[in-house]
Structure 1
Amino acid sequence: MAGIVMEDDVDMDVSEALNYFDEGHVTALQTKLALNALERHAKEEGLEAGQITSLLKAVGSGKIATQASVKLIRCLIPREHVEQEAVLKVISSLSVPTIPTSVKIMLLKWTILVFELLDGEDLVGSLYDVLFYFLDSDSLRPFVCQLLCFLTKREHVMDFRVHKLLEMLKKVHVNDQPICSLLWAYKVFRPDLLTRSRPKSLFGSMENALKRDIKRVQAKRKTVGLQRRFGTNLRASWTPPSKRRRVTGRAVLATSRSLTLGDGRAISLSQLAENLENFELPSQVSSSLDSPMARHLLTVAGDGEAFLRLTFWLEHCLSEVFFSNSSVSSPDAEHILDCLVSLTEFLQDTVDAVQHFFLCGYLPLWDGVSYRQQILQLMTYLRPEPFDEFRETYILPLHRLFCSLDVSFKADVLFCWQRVLHNLLAPNWKRRDGVFGCLLVEDDDVDRVDFIRRFVEYVDGVCISALQVERNHPHIQSAALSFIDAVSDIYGKYEIPLIILPSPAVVCRTVFALNVSATTGMCRILVDKYRPAFEKVDKMNIEYVEITKQLNSYIVDLCYALWRKSAFYIEEEFTFKTLLYDIPQQALSALQIPRVQDALLVHTGITFLGLIWDYLQTQQSDSQSMMHPRRIPKTHRVAYLNFLREHNMEAIDDFLSTFTTLRS
């Protein structure tokens, strides 16, 4: 029949199809032809970002039939990236009553699949409250929850949202998977608000055919859209495969420790600098955790795709081993942590999967005993964040354990904070980008000087508490002095415009304790670290006037106590107020200790009693009776200081000879 046009005989190119949907004049036959043209082109070449946005506008108009709308959405295969405006049109379509629910569900599924390809998140994130409103819809809730998980950041986790989700659980089902998954995402950022455990399963896969089409087009075009940051959205953990292989410890790590050239030949370490452009990473990128040469290549080559694969694998592996209900043996979990420690020590920096995924979620659950060495080593390279967030995420979980565990844990934590401070002050602390950019945590706009100041003030208070609770235990004293030594380098060694002195309580409990090594350590820090730092300070700088007075008070107090027989007493004409032993005279009299002002002298104090005994033995013959320490004549006291120097306590001699007259 010549007068009838069969639809198989009519064809339409992609430009005509796009114009057809833009014009809005919809007929069944033309719609089918346009969809066929779009489908062929999208599966082969993909669509430009502007074309996708235009087609979503047509879907949101409500003029296209339901089945045609669903098919059109399946044709929205991005060639490279997706504009945020496209997602805004999806969200606006959710509130249009004339659009069928099945179309809205398909729009949400498409948004979840292309979320990794968005050109940003700021505009979409600004509609977080709008998306949260659609949780009341039973049909849309599973997909809205998954999208919210992608967008969730710390500022989105608020009390009223948590209460809203908990109320929903009571109405629907106590184990509703989408809501439980969103609550778990909230718990990652605010563990103090929730006590829920991680759900057994998160969000399953969806629209597998469309997902495969998107991956194929992206791989064909060698998109750079996948090389995005992986910060606080946890998206890698929210979209696991439908059937995941059980992770069982050492089997997770690839056994190959070799690198290969492009033609498959194995290489040696000596070839590393000669053939960098020809090297290929192993097919199992996780083998780089065990192979030193692979780690070198991973960092030198700067392969963003390999970093991305490693980040995905780390988050998946850590989630299975530490956050699921699977029974993974302790040696296998310890082996994985050892590999992470090795990687962070090699990079001299943390990685996103460690700081923002593992430590953020595991520290609130940690008992302080399991894997203590590995956990504290991983915390060594924590990068600064706004201090209030850093305190809630990393400091408070350790602080709760700090107050309940033994002296060994307290000392280990103080040594850990000392290493954290050292890495903050290291010469490469300003490094931001480079070959590690895809794997390392991105720095927020953090005032590092203010962060360091608040961090030091916190640890100083922790030192006081630990010394009080553990009665000046030598292990705690050593850890506290190690941290104070690092603090003293802030200005003098690294020239960061910040000088922080230890609090009087810390100085008093280290200098006047029954541990001569602690006294020696504090004297060394004051004379070798703080004195040179203050000599470099501009004396006219008003910011350092008060802290200079504080240092002078420490020096005067120590000289009076250790050498000048004037502990607990300061001459009235002296301009500096004592900070270490400002004790009322009535209290001293009530103690009824004779010659209390001599109790802390370097040649009579109980702290030095063993050394005094040894010195007196060298100064008298066998026929002489043992002399009392107070009978050491003044002419011998300088010789006694030389005796201390010979026994590796030269810091006391240096301190006294620098700040007082020894022969007076």
Structure 2
Amino acid sequence: MPSVAEKIDSLHDAVEALQAASTTPVKQRSVKVSVAVDAICRHAFEDGLDPASLQAIIKIVTRKTELDQTSLTNIIKNLYPAQRVPADVVIAVVSGLGQGKTKPSSPTQTLLVKWLITIYEVLEDATVLSRLYGVLFAMLDMISLRTPICYLLSLVTRRKHVRPFRIQQLLELSRGMSNEPALQGLLRIYKDYYPDIIVGSSGLSRGSFPPHPNPEWRTRLLAIQEASARRAEGRKGQHNGFRVLRLGSKRSKASIIPEVHTFYANESSVTLEEIDSVDDLVGKLDKIELPGQIISFLRDPLLQKYLSLNPSKTASTRIDLWLSACLEDEFEAAKQGATPSVSLSEILEGILSHTRYTKSILPVADAFLKAYLPFWDGLANDDAILNILAFLPIQSFQDVHSTYFASIEAAMVSQNPYAHQRLLTFYTSLMRHWTVLASSQASTPTPAPPSQITKHITDLINHVSTLSLSILSALPYHSNSPVISSLLSFYELLSVSSLPNIIPIVLPTPHLTYLLLTSPSLATLSRLCTILANYKNAFDTHPTPISAYYPVTTTNMFNGYLMDSCNLLWRSRALLTVDANALGIFCAPPVRESLQNYFTALDREYVLSSAFGLSHNALLAALSAAAWSALEEAEIQHQNLDANDVIRHKGPVLQRTLTVLGKEGGVEVTFKQYRVQVLKWLDARGCGGIKELMFATMTGLKDATA
């Protein structure tokens, strides 16, 4: 056993030391109990307690021991489970409650009940406390445990637990305790299932609701469990979506959207509050009573599932009436120039939650946005509004633009400094939704013929292309780099979304392509190359003949993109137009001639045609040099050369300099071998787009280097 001065590093050793200390009087211990307690708390806070350690510690703290109260308090307050809490741990905790010579002290029992409340949502078996309901209810006679036990029972109570004798006992306790808040809160849970119960006349106070766990404690617990789940290669959410969501008293009072409560239940009915699993929901789907305020569905996942699986005209009417009343007030306020209320933010967030779940916009919300957007300031609730509209169905782009997008663009550009990026991100989300809808409609009959769907999508793409080119032309580069990233995200999606006869291959315009190709950003260049490689693959896998689907001008334009990109980066023929379809990235002959004269004046061997290649490109030169150094060292070893005597290449690497290097005693490497090494070097460092494009375009390159 460690000496007094030693620090315990192992959790197993710390638990063993605590076990020994718990049965040994203070004066007879060879190890300070604080050493073991500190080690356990440290391990629990950093990594959480595994089930075996948690069970061993619970066994110690749930009985009377020689440990002091301070040590027990510190341990219980740091009982962070690394995984879901097993049922036997919960049973052990409950068995440690009550009166008896072997039971822990009252403060310890109170802490243990509060711990059960904090870990309620991470129980391995959600029904274990339900099975122990009678045991917990019987402990309400203990004054020291009554309040936390009421809070715990408020979380556990379901219809099957509500019995006449328990109602009678709670009413007697309530009258004797002068409307104690915790008892009143539990009684009102019972009233949800049996409305005829008479409860105290006082309203619900903050003490009527189970307290929230310490936010820092809760955050740490979730972080520990997520890390543990990742290590176990399986992540589990904290709310299973098949239980009514409870957010507590403070959030409920401040919210315009109420929590789910069924007020007119009877003994034969089933309420959503009773559901706690998918089997429960499926088995009782046709028997569930609608809650008192159906609008709770905007926030409650279980009610959303229920309404989707069991649609009701009554529920739809109630939802429309509630939303119409609230949104009408917000619309009238917007027409008068008033600031949007906090309630509108919450309603729009709720509508967005429902829209994401159903992938369609509520008709009443759609009607509100049509009327509201002309008065919108471009700033308030912009996230929610844009994310909702990203789920608009496929329709005429001219109509949808005049109805929604024209107002959005005008409002955002005039008020929001980040409007351009936000607009491109929005159009990307809309494009993603439309491509998903178009793909699903390709195999099913639809009201709109494929040609109309294709036209609607094409019009959207053309609008984004025009908008993007306008933005890039108007703004200096240092201020539009986020815009470029959003634009590239749009074309990355577009380049992999084509579907014959439904989603066409629509290329970016030449000016936009060449503007990005000459961008002073390596990330932009690499992403553009990936996009071009994706388009190349789309054409290669498209049904033939291509001319039956696309005009010759489209394929010639794309071949021009490929030719100019390869001339620029690979073939040392930058800005030339002598090759078929090459446009020389629109560099006018007088400009090219002036640039060539400038380069020649700097160095007779420095020519414009190779200035953008892998060795000389301002974005790639440093990485190319590093790639060459690694290749040179590898070849020295492979060719059995003396590292001290071998002639080193001084750079930049060219085909001619490599030939000279081999003759003068350096490594013998071909120019193609060097360039492939650079492509692989870039790929390994997150710039794989250039490699993808070269391998997709240069015939035989990929096979030759496999």
TM-score (norm 1): 0.55
2:457 aligns with 452
For residue 599 of structure 1, the aligned residue among 579, 598, 611 is: 611
Q: Does 1:311 align with 2:308?
A: no
2:146 aligns with none
1:4-40 deviation digits (Å, cap 9, x = unpaired): xxxxxxxxxxxxxxxxxxxxxxxxxxxxxxxxxxxxx
Partners of 1:278 and 1:284 in 2: how far apart? Answer: 18
Cα shift at 1:351: 1.5
2:343 aligns with 332
Q: Does 1:581 align with 2:581?
A: no
Partners of 2:385 and 2:685 in 1: how far apart? Answer: 38
Q: Do the aligned partners of 2:259 and 2:300 also contact (CA within 8 Å) in 1? A: no
Q: Secondary structure at the match of 1:452?
A: helix
Q: Secondary structure at the match of 1:567?
A: coil
2:508 aligns with 502
Q: Secondary structure at the match of 1:560?
A: helix
2:356 aligns with 345
1:517 aligns with 523
1:556-597 deviation digits (Å, cap 9, x = unpaired): 1111111111111122xx43242x613221122234541222
Q: Assess, with a 3 A threshold, how the Cα gap between structure 1 residues 258 and 530 changes in structure 2: closer, same or farther.
A: farther
Q: Does 1:641 align with 2:666?
A: no
Q: Do the aligned partners of 1:384 and 1:390 also contact (CA within 8 Å) in 2? A: no
1:381 aligns with 391
Cα shift at 1:467: 2.0
Cα shift at 1:517: 1.5
Specify the code of the residue in structure 1 equivalent to 2:304.
Answer: R
Q: Do the aligned partners of 1:249 and 1:328 also contact (CA within 8 Å) in 2? A: no
1:423-446 deviation digits (Å, cap 9, x = unpaired): 1111577679xxxxxxxxx98999
1:468-507 deviation digits (Å, cap 9, x = unpaired): 2333433112211111122223424x86252211111222
Q: Assess, with a 3 A threshold, how the Cα gap between structure 1 residues 590 and 541 changes in structure 2: closer, same or farther.
A: closer
Q: Do the aligned partners of 1:520 and 1:651 also contact (CA within 8 Å) in 2? A: yes
Q: Do the aligned partners of 1:290 and 1:339 also contact (CA within 8 Å) in 2? A: yes
Partners of 2:441 and 2:309 in 1: how far apart? Answer: 16
Q: Does 1:299 align with 2:308?
A: yes
Partners of 1:321 and 1:515 in 2: how far apart? Answer: 45
Q: Assess, with a 3 A threshold, how the Cα gap between structure 1 residues 611 and 380 changes in structure 2: closer, same or farther.
A: same
For residue 657 of structure 1, the aligned residue among 686, 690, 695 is: 695
Q: Secondary structure at the match of 1:420?
A: helix
Cα shift at 1:345: 0.7
Q: Do the aligned partners of 2:257 and 2:296 also contact (CA within 8 Å) in 1? A: yes
Partners of 1:249 and 1:412 in 2: how far apart? Answer: 33
Specify the code of the residue in structure 1 equivalent to 2:610.
Answer: D
For residue 390 of structure 1, the aligned residue among 382, 385, 400 is: 400
Aligned pairs, number: 403
Q: Assess, with a 3 A threshold, how the Cα gap between structure 1 residues 264 and 584 changes in structure 2: closer, same or farther.
A: closer
Cα shift at 1:525: 2.1
Q: Secondary structure at the match of 1:382?
A: coil
Q: Does 1:485 align with 2:492?
A: yes
Specify the code of the residue in structure 2 equivalent to 1:455.
Answer: L
2:427 aligns with 417
Q: Do the aligned partners of 1:249 and 1:332 also contact (CA within 8 Å) in 2? A: no
Partners of 1:250 and 1:311 in 2: how far apart? Answer: 23
1:44 aligns with none
Specify the code of the residue in structure 1 equivalent to 2:619.
Answer: T
The within-5 A match list for 1:357-368 is 357-368=367-378
Q: Assess, with a 3 A threshold, how the Cα gap between structure 1 residues 269 and 599 changes in structure 2: closer, same or farther.
A: farther
Cα shift at 1:614: 4.0
2:90 aligns with none
- Which structure ranks higher in relative contact order (CA pairs < 8 Å, sequence separation ≥ 6)? 1
1:91-119 deviation digits (Å, cap 9, x = unpaired): xxxxxxxxxxxxxxxxxxxxxxxxxxxxx
Q: Do the aligned partners of 1:258 and 1:294 also contact (CA within 8 Å) in 2? A: no
Cα shift at 1:417: 0.6
1:141-162 deviation digits (Å, cap 9, x = unpaired): xxxxxxxxxxxxxxxxxxxxxx
Partners of 1:429 and 1:497 in 2: how far apart? Answer: 8
Cα shift at 1:337: 1.7
1:166-206 deviation digits (Å, cap 9, x = unpaired): xxxxxxxxxxxxxxxxxxxxxxxxxxxxxxxxxxxxxxxxx
TM-score (norm 2): 0.52
Q: Secondary structure at the match of 2:282?
A: coil
Q: Do the aligned partners of 1:350 and 1:381 also contact (CA within 8 Å) in 2? A: yes
1:524-562 deviation digits (Å, cap 9, x = unpaired): 222234423443232164342332222211111111111
1:379-404 deviation digits (Å, cap 9, x = unpaired): 11112333322111122123324544
Q: Assess, with a 3 A threshold, how the Cα gap between structure 1 residues 660 and 379 changes in structure 2: closer, same or farther.
A: same
Q: Do the aligned partners of 2:454 and 2:501 also contact (CA within 8 Å) in 1? A: no
Q: Secondary structure at the match of 1:629?
A: coil
1:629 aligns with 652
Q: Do the aligned partners of 1:385 and 1:443 also contact (CA within 8 Å) in 2? A: no
Partners of 1:527 and 1:629 in 2: how far apart? Answer: 27
Partners of 1:610 and 1:309 in 2: how far apart? Answer: 66
1:353-373 deviation digits (Å, cap 9, x = unpaired): 222x22212222223222221
Partners of 1:523 and 1:585 in 2: how far apart? Answer: 25
The within-5 A match list for 1:552-571 is 552-571=559-578
Q: Assess, with a 3 A threshold, how the Cα gap between structure 1 residues 429 and 636 changes in structure 2: closer, same or farther.
A: closer
Q: Assess, with a 3 A threshold, how the Cα gap between structure 1 residues 384 and 278 changes in structure 2: closer, same or farther.
A: same
Cα shift at 1:519: 1.5
Partners of 1:249 and 1:476 in 2: how far apart? Answer: 41
Q: Assess, with a 3 A threshold, how the Cα gap between structure 1 residues 250 and 508 changes in structure 2: closer, same or farther.
A: farther
The within-5 A match list for 1:212-227 is none
For residue 281 of structure 1, the aligned residue among 265, 279, 290 is: 290
Q: Do the aligned partners of 1:258 and 1:267 also contact (CA within 8 Å) in 2? A: no
1:608 aligns with 620
The within-5 A match list for 1:193-212 is none
Specify the code of the residue in structure 2 equivalent to 1:539.
Answer: P
Q: Secondary structure at the match of 2:543?
A: coil
The within-5 A match list for 1:78-97 is none
Unaligned runs of 5+ in 2: 1-251, 600-606, 634-642, 659-670
Q: Does 1:462 align with 2:467?
A: yes
Q: Percent identity?
A: 19
Partners of 1:549 and 1:296 in 2: how far apart? Answer: 51
Q: Do the aligned partners of 2:258 and 2:295 also contact (CA within 8 Å) in 1? A: yes
The within-5 A match list for 1:514-553 is 514-539=520-545, 541-544=547-550, 545-553=552-560
Partners of 1:443 and 1:327 in 2: how far apart? Answer: 41
Q: Secondary structure at the match of 1:280?
A: coil
Cα shift at 1:456: 0.8
Partners of 2:381 and 2:493 in 1: how far apart? Answer: 26
